[in-house]
């Protein structure tokens, strides 16, 4: 029976692990069957990047990746030459050694059960240097929150559009366990740990455009924007630094 060695991962297996793998099943299925709770937001359907792993041994023995997998991998956290989506790599008789990247972005399934963050039992408070709102954005968001009877807004980054990522704002009342929190006057902003990597140093402004006004993100981490302005990409070095 082939073995999969998993290098230490802060949350999923702090001491590393070695499991006996089932031939013919994906690496992701083998990990999940052995209680290594790797993210798999699209339920192994090659529609997210959350099951991304890096092969430290055995890469050349793997089945070939499809174009869909390659396209998705471009958006993965901490991409390396020997990166693969673990749900798309099938175990054969060869032993494998994998590293699970420190971060993923859980971008596909709003209903995917959230994993409890075992290492974080407190919210982390941000400062205005980490994330900020202009006066006009503060007043606009504050009035939206009042209209919707909500005290908080979640700022997220999700995969979207031709450039890879897009911003998302939604109303919430309660922080998740690993959320970063920024309180500005009566507005509470919540940012997940994963999204914060993309958003560090960002300022939201509220500006007039013709007859309309809109919230815009001034984000120092962006490397390119798509023509329609709906999505953006970031330098992959961002993930290495995280
Ligand atoms: S679980 Fe989504 S691509 Fe593998």
Query: In testing the pocket of ligand 1, which one of 26, 36, 40 has its CB within 8 Å of the most ligand atoms?
Result: 40
Surface-to-core class of residue 85, CB atoms within 10 Å of its CB (0-12 exposed, 13-18 middle, 19+ buried): buried
Residue 18 Cα to ligand 1 middle (Å): 22
pLDDT at 113: 39
Parts of the chain belonging to CATH 2.60.300.12: 120-235
Sign for the pseudo-dihedral over CA of 74, 75, 78, 82: negative
pTM: 0.54
Ligand 1 atom closest to 39 (CA):
1
Beta 96-99 vs 52-57: how paired, if at all?
Answer: antiparallel
In 10 A of CB 71, how many CB atoms? 11
Residue-level pLDDT at 90: 96
Integer Cα distance of 158 and 200 in angstroms: 15
Q: Give dist(CA 44, CA 32) in Å, integer.
A: 11
3-99 homologous superfamily: Beta-grasp domain (3.10.20.30)
pLDDT at site 151: 75
What pLDDT is recorded for position 123?
53
Q: Which atom of ligand 1 is nearest to the CA of 49?
A: 3
Tell me which residues of the chain have a pLDDT lower than 50. 107-122
Query: Hey, what CATH topology would domain 120-235 get?
Result: Hypothetical Protein Aq_1857; Chain: A; (2.60.300)
Residues with CB under 6 A from ligand 1: 28, 40-42, 44, 46-48, 50-51, 85, 87
Atom of ligand 1 nearest to the CA of 85: 4
pLDDT for 229:
62
All CATH 3.10.20.30 domain ranges in the chain, comma separated: 3-99
What pLDDT does 239 receive? 56
Q: What is the pLDDT of residue 237?
A: 61
Label each residue of the chain as H, E or C: CCEEEECCECCCECCCEEEECCCCCEHHHHHHHCCCCCCCCCCCCCCCCCCEEEEEECHHHCCCCCHHHHHHHCCCCCCCCCEEEHHHCECCCCCEEEECCCCCCCCCCCCCCCCCCCCCCCCEECCCCCEEECHHHHHHHHHHHHHCCCCEEEEEEEEECCCEEEEEEEEECCCCCCCEEEEECCEEEEECHHHHHHHCCEEEEEEEECCEEEEEEECCCEEEECCCCCCEEECCHHHHHC
Asked if residues 99 and 81 have their Cβ atoms less than 8 Å apart, the reply is no
pLDDT at 3: 97
Q: In a mutational test of the pocket of ligand 1, which residue from 27, 38, 41, 69 has the highest number of ligand atoms less than 8 Å from its CB?
A: 41
Asked whether 157 and 234 are in contact (CB, 8 A), the reply is: no
């Amino acid at each position: 029976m082939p073995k999969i060695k998993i290098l230490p991962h802060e949350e999923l297996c702090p001491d590393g692990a070695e499991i006996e793998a089932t031939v013919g099943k994906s690496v992701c299925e083998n990990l999940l069957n052995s209680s290594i709770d790797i993210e798999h937001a699209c339920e192994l359907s090659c529609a997210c990047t959350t099951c991304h792993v890096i092969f430290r041994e055995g890469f050349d023995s793997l089945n070939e990746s499809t174009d869909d997998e390659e396209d998705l991998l471009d958006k993965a956290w901490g991409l390396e030459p020997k990166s693969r989506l673990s749900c798309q790599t099938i175990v054969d008789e060869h032993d494998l050694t994998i590293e699970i990247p420190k971060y993923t972005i859980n971008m596909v399934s709003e209903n995917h059960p959230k994993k409890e963050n075992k290492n974080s039992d407190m919210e982390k408070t941000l400062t205005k240097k980490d994330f900020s709102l202009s006066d006009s954005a503060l007043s606009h968001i504050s009035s939206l929150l009042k209209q919707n009877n909500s005290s908080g807004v979640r700022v997220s980054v999700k995969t979207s559009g031709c450039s890879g990522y897009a911003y998302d704002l939604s109303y919430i009342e309660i922080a998740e366990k690993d959320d970063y929190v920024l309180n500005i006057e009566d507005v509470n902003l919540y940012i997940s740990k994963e999204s914060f990597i993309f958003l560090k140093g960002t300022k939201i402004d509220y500006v007039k455009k013709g007859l309309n006004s809109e919230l815009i993100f001034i984000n120092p981490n962006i490397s390119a924007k798509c023509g329609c302005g709906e999505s953006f990409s970031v330098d992959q070095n961002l993930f290495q630094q995280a």
